[in-house]
Structure 1
Amino acid sequence: MTAFIPALTLPSAVFATPAAAILLPVTVGAGIGYAIRRKSVKTKQDLVLMDTAKETQKRYMQLKQPPLRPPPWVFGPVWTILYGMMGYASYRAWHTGSLSLNPVTRDLAKQGATLYTIQLGLNFIWMPLFFGWKRPVAASLDIVTLTGVTSYLIYIWSQVDQLSSWCLYPYLGWLSFATYLCIATSHLNNWDLEEKEVPMPPEGKADSNKFVNEK
């Protein structure tokens, strides 16, 4: 059984209300995605920061992809929903545990808060590892660990509040699929993402929804 580690746990205020618990993962997750999409480009005049809303999508499309890969526009809505559900689950588990007269349940709620914080950190670091720093090995280890921690968190929360644990099952299912995509994509690109990106064709010159080496 894991322990409650205050230094590795979000402040209790984050779990105090549904709004705070939900907004934290949604806003931070969106912020990281936005930061990864920012690209430095050098023009003839000067160096400017250019916000390309589809930058991460292009990087994803330019890699060799395994079967069953979804179109890149799917990820944003799916992650927003999953972040909202996990945030609400964290509120439920913390609130239920804090009101319980059973000391074991209270301890499990605190332990779950530590696990939740750890899995959130592992979740947030994946995109910079894969798309930002192009470290497929580290990203694969990260997402495998994240899936394991989330599985254990479901087990812990199931002993505190059943609804909280059920809220994480869609997240766990998506993580399992994302683990397959991460490892399979890394393997197809020889675990080296540095040289696998190729220039996208000009708009209107080719089908922008086509993957590299798709045939």
Structure 2
Amino acid sequence: MTTFIPALTLPSAVFLNPAVSVLLPIGLGTAVGFSARQTQKTYLSIKKPDLHPPPWLFGPVWTILYGVMGYAAYRATFNGLSPLSSPETIQATKQAMTLYTIQLGLNLLWTPLFFGLNRPVAATVDILGLIGVNGYLTYVWSTIDPVASWCQVPYLGWLSFATYLCASIGYLNNWDLTGKSNKEEAKKE
């Protein structure tokens, strides 16, 4: 079971305001995406598995997923912290707030790890942790608000696909996205 850790948790005012709860992950995700300017160039230049989406698809998909995750966080928190909720539900809601904050941090860390630092191993570890935290968050939300829990399903599906992409790209590029190994291979041939 998770613990509510106030120092690692977004303030409840963020969760309880529907606009802020939805717009915060969208805004942060957009900022991280734009800050990694080399993202599209790197994505186009590295070896990818046969099943991979075009670069233009990532922005719209992540915008929708961030919005839905923010909505789910609002719903679960609003319903779980209701004065009519049991003490157990309130405690589970606070724990879910910590889980949500941790998963958001792991999510936002992935792009700089993979594209900014060219660290596919660290990015793969990050995304595996992200799936684990979100799987558990989905379970906790199911005890608080089933709709919030179901809102996680598309996110978990995309994270599963993103994990496949991350690990496959890492493997196909010898776990080196700097381009050095690709240039060295070209010289050998």
Whether TM-score is above 0.5 comes out as yes
Give the count of matched residue pairs.
182
Letter in 2 for 1:84: G
Structure number having the greater strand percentage: 1
The question of 1:76 aligning with 2:59 is answered: yes
Matches within 5 A, 1:62-73: 62-73=45-56
SS in 1 for 2:81: helix
Matches within 5 A, 1:33-182: 33-37=33-37, 55-99=38-82, 100-182=84-166
Q: Residues 10 and 97 of structure 2 are in contact (CA less than 8 Å); yes or no, is this contact kept in structure 1?
A: yes
Letter in 2 for 1:150: N
Shift of 1:58: 1.9
The aligned counterpart of 1:208 is none
Q: Residues 63 and 197 of structure 1 are in contact (CA less than 8 Å); yes or no, is this contact kept in structure 2?
A: no
- Please report the TM-score for the alignment, with normalisation by the length of structure 1: 0.82
Quick one: distance in 1 between partners of 2:133 and 2:96?
A: 10
The question of 1:7 aligning with 2:4 is answered: no
Quick one: distance in 1 between partners of 2:96 and 2:19?
A: 19
4+ residue segments displaced more than 3 Å: none
What are structure 1's unaligned runs of at least 5 residues?
A: 38-54, 199-215
* Structure index of larger Rg: 1
Q: Residues 90 and 116 of structure 1 are in contact (CA less than 8 Å); yes or no, is this contact kept in structure 2?
A: yes
1:116-139 CA distances to partner (integer Å, 9 max, x unpaired)? 000000000000000001111100
The aligned counterpart of 2:169 is 185
Q: Residues 173 and 181 of structure 2 are in contact (CA less than 8 Å); yes or no, is this contact kept in structure 1?
A: no
Shift of 1:195: 1.8
Shift of 1:17: 1.2
Distance change (3 Å), C-alpha of 1:174 and 1:142: same
Quick one: distance in 2 between partners of 1:197 and 1:28?
A: 33
Shift of 1:101: 2.8
SS in 2 for 1:168: helix
SS in 2 for 1:86: helix
Q: Residues 62 and 197 of structure 1 are in contact (CA less than 8 Å); yes or no, is this contact kept in structure 2?
A: no
SS in 2 for 1:179: helix
Shift of 1:34: 0.7
SS in 2 for 1:154: helix
Quick one: distance in 2 between partners of 1:101 and 1:161?
A: 11
Percent same amino acid among aligned pairs?
61
Structure number having the greater helix percentage: 2
